[in-house]
Structure 1
Amino acid sequence: MLVGALTRQAQAAGGFAAVLAKGDATAGAVLVILAERGQKSSVLERLLQPEGRYLWQDIGQSAQDEAQLNALIERRRKYDPDLWVVELDIPNGERFAAEMNSMT
Structure 2
Amino acid sequence: MSETPRLPATVEVSALVRQVNAQGGFAAVIAKGEADAGTILLLLCENGQDQRVYERMPMADGTRGWHCAKRLDPEDPQPFHDWLERRRQQDRDLWIVELDIPAAERFIGLSV
For Structure 1 versus Structure 2, the TM-score category normalised by the shorter chain is: 0.7 to 0.9
Mapped pair 1:53 → 2:63: yes
Query: Mind listing any 5+ residue stretches in structure 2 that lack a counterpart?
Result: 1-10
What count of residue pairs does the alignment treat as equivalent?
Answer: 99
Bigger Rg over Cα:
2
- RMSD of equivalent CA atoms: 2.0
- Structure 1: distance between partners of 2:59 and 2:70: 17
Amino acid at match of 2:95: W
Query: Mind listing any 5+ residue stretches in structure 1 that lack a counterpart?
Result: none
Check 1:29–1:63 CA distance in 2 against 1; reply closer, same or farther (3 A cut): farther
- Structure 1: distance between partners of 2:98 and 2:73: 10
* Residue matched to 2:4: none
Using the size of structure 1 for normalisation, the TM-score is 0.80
* Residue matched to 1:101: 109
* Residue matched to 2:99: 88
Using the size of structure 2 for normalisation, the TM-score is 0.75
* Residue matched to 1:72: 83
Identity %: 43
Q: Which runs of at least 4 in structure 1 moved beyond 4 Å after TM superposition?
A: 63-66
- Structure 2: distance between partners of 1:62 and 1:80: 21
Q: Which has the higher helix share?
A: 1
Amino acid at match of 1:17: A
Check 1:99–1:22 CA distance in 2 against 1; reply closer, same or farther (3 A cut): closer
